[in-house]
Amino acid sequence: MSECFSRKLRHVKIHYFEEIRSSVLELFKERIPLSSRTRVREKIYREIYTRKIDRSYDKLISMIRECASLPLSHELHMFYKELLRLYSLEDVYNEMILRCRNMISITRDIRDKYKSLIKNSSNKEEMKRYVREFIGRILSVAKRKLRDKDVDIFKKIVRELSSMPCFEEDVMKIVLTGMPQVGKSTFISKISNAQPEISVYPFTTKKIIAGHFIDEKKGIRIMLLDTPGLLDRSVEEMNEIELKAVAALKHMADVAIFLIDPRREFYYTIDQQLKVLDTVRSLLGEKKFFIAINKIDISSEEEIAEAEKKIIDLGYSKEMIYKISAAKNIGLTELIYDIYNTFLKTKT
């Protein structure tokens, strides 16, 4: 199972130049305990200044290593890559990682050069000058590479992408769609093996709710996602940021379920819900699609039949339509297994 990128980002700390500068200089000023018992002054000074170089270099590297170890955008899951692309942040993301990697390479060469100079020096003042030059040069590199405005943007990218719930690339993902209050959250809470995780969708104020359906005996693990405020209204009601979020969501979803409340007293009419159904269908493109008429436990047979007929009249096949009650957990497991088996057939 591949590592969760969102979880990895939650532990990544990105430092500003001034933080690095303060830490390196503070460590540089510390007294160096001698490891050898030599009484030869030249050797004592050489050990002191060599260790100052090593300690200062190690401190700087420790503060940029997490940045340098992040994968470039072409190595990311298509969902993350598309998010960066849609919000014009892909270049910024890659550039900062490459700068951190380049800093490691440049400062390593500087370290090796000045350690060699000290090794070949027998003059205390000369060694002291070399080590001060070394500190100045590595901090100069860090200052050039870590401009505050660039670090600000990069920190925001890391923060936003880390807000996503963990999803493994080798786990099937189902996106639940439908108007507000049709029962999407209830569906996830009833079918999930654990409490659903609520996060904020990257670069928006919209929440994303994630749960997992797990059948250990059959080796089935499925992630269910609900994105309130995104896939529950028409394109005309979405702003530019939300449209971009939906575009990226297509790369995460393997299958979509559209939930419908058939009751006549429901706030949204069947026709309003079906309009959004068509919108969602077009937004998700070629993704496998299912429709679930929910709340059959509190709907009349006439209301259920009317909803089913209108769905079929729009060109959707009867095989795509399921009748469920999320609140009473009626038909949920059967729907999930049918979707899973259908998905497996399309993958083979």
Identify the sign of the CA torsion 79, 82, 87, 91. Answer: positive
Q: How far is CA 327 from the centre of its chain?
A: 31
Nearest to 233 by CA among 220, 221, 245: 245
Residue in 133, 125, 66, 74 with CA at minimum distance from that of residue 96:
66
DSSP-derived secondary structure for 28-56 = HHSPPPPSS----HHHHHHHHHHHHHHHH
**212-246 residue pLDDT tens:** 999 999 999 999 998 887 888 877 888 888 888 88
> Per the CATH hierarchy, to which homologous superfamily does domain 166-347 belong?
P-loop containing nucleotide triphosphate hydrolases (3.40.50.300)
Per-residue pLDDT of the chain (348 residues; tens, 9 = 90+): 456 888 889 999 999 999 999 999 999 999 887 666 656 678 888 999 999 999 999 999 999 999 999 999 999 988 888 889 988 999 999 999 999 999 999 999 999 999 999 999 989 999 999 999 999 999 999 999 999 999 999 999 999 999 888 777 788 999 999 999 999 999 999 999 878 887 888 888 788 889 999 999 999 999 999 888 788 887 788 888 888 888 878 888 899 999 999 999 999 999 999 999 998 888 888 888 999 999 999 999 999 999 999 999 999 999 999 999 999 999 999 999 999 998 876 765
**Minimal CA–CA distance to 237: which of 176, 279, 182, 181?**
279
- Per-residue confidence (pLDDT) for residue 40, from 0 to 100: 66
Class of 5-161 per CATH? mainly alpha
Task: List the structure tokens of 254.
Answer: 């393997």
pLDDT digits (tens, 9 = 90+) for 147-201: 999 999 999 999 999 988 877 778 899 999 999 999 999 999 999 987 888 788 8
Q: Where are the domains of the chain?
A: 5-161, 166-347
| Predicted local distance difference test score (pLDDT) of residue 273 | 94
CA atoms within 13 A on the CB side of 102: 12
d(C-alpha 100, C-alpha 102), whole Å: 5
Q: What is the DSSP string of 111-135?
A: HHHHHHHHHT---HHHHHHHHHHHH
Q: How many CB atoms lie within 10 A of CB 304?
A: 17
Predicted pLDDT of residue 49: 94
- Which H or E element spans position 332? helix 332-347
Query: CA-to-CA distance for 306 and 154, rounded, in angstroms?
Result: 52
The pair of three-digit structure tokens given for residue 203, joined into one six-digit string: 């670069």
- Tell me, what's the pLDDT at 311? 96
Provide the pLDDT for residue 205. 74
Instruction: Please tell me the distance from the alpha carbon of residue 45 to that of residue 77, in angstroms, as a whole number.
Output: 51
Q: What's the pLDDT at 1?
A: 42
Q: How far is CA 140 from CA 27, 103, 147, in A?
A: 17, 10, 11
Matching fold, domains 5-161 and 166-347: no
Residue 237: φ, ψ to 5°? -90, -10
Count CB neighbours of 30 within 10 A.
9
pLDDT at 38: 58
